[in-house]
């Protein structure tokens, strides 16, 4: 089971972390550059959640680099439990933030037609949500791999 793609301390694991980090950072930048985002709770929550996701992924990416450089094994039960809890918490928070922001943008766009107002940057909000969903997809993959590794220890 140690050869599972996406395991901690492998190149595939590191690439998953880099993917999470890049898309989470892109989502934070897209939200922060949308004028007036702070007036909406859903977008404030999205920026907070993506910030947490980026920090967690950065930490794990550094740990993966260290393990790859010094050929350390990161498959102990204690470390895997920590990764499982952290990955699941960040993945669930990211998904909740993406879905609630998506719910608000769909309301603006299709239900109350607020996106016809050119002052509301719906395009940037949509870009931020797309990046957040991509970051969540990488994060969910990591979380599933960690859970599978822990279950098959």
CB of 53 to a copy of itself, least distance (A): 16
Contacts of the segment 30-37: beta carbons below 8 A, 24+ positions apart: 30/124, 30/125, 30/127, 30/128, 30/131, 31/124, 31/125, 31/128, 33/124, 34/121, 34/124, 34/125, 34/128, 35/119, 35/121, 36/119, 36/120, 36/121, 37/121, 37/125
CB of 106 to a copy of itself, least distance (A): 5
Give the residue, chosen from 26, 101, 120, 131, that forms a contact with a copy of itself under the rule CB under 8 A: 101
Q: Verify binding: residue 122, a copy of itself, rule CB under 8 A.
A: no
Q: Verify binding: residue 3, a copy of itself, rule CB under 8 A.
A: no
Site for a copy of itself in 23-62 (CB under 8 A): 39-42
Side-chain half-sphere exposure of 117, counting CA atoms within 13 A: 8
Q: Verify binding: residue 89, a copy of itself, rule CB under 8 A.
A: no
CB of 22 to a copy of itself, least distance (A): 23
**CB closer to a copy of itself, 3 vs 111:** 111
């Amino acid at each position: 089971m140690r050869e599972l793609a996406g395991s901690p301390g492998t190149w595939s694991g590191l690439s998953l972390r880099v993917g999470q980090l890049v898309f989470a950072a892109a989502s934070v930048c897209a939200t922060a550059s949308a004028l007036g985002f702070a007036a909406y709770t859903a977008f404030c929550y999205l920026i907070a959640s993506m910030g947490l996701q980026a920090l967690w992924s950065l930490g794990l990416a550094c740990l993966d680099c260290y393990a790859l450089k010094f050929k350390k094994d990161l498959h102990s039960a204690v470390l895997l439990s920590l990764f499982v809890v952290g990955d699941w918490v960040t993945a669930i928070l990211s998904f909740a933030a993406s879905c609630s922001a998506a719910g608000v943008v769909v309301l603006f766009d299709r239900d109350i037609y607020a996106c016809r107002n050119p002052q509301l940057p719906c395009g940037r909000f949509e870009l931020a949500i797309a990046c957040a969903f991509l970051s969540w997809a990488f994060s969910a993959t990591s979380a599933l791999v960690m859970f599978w590794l822990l279950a098959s220890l």
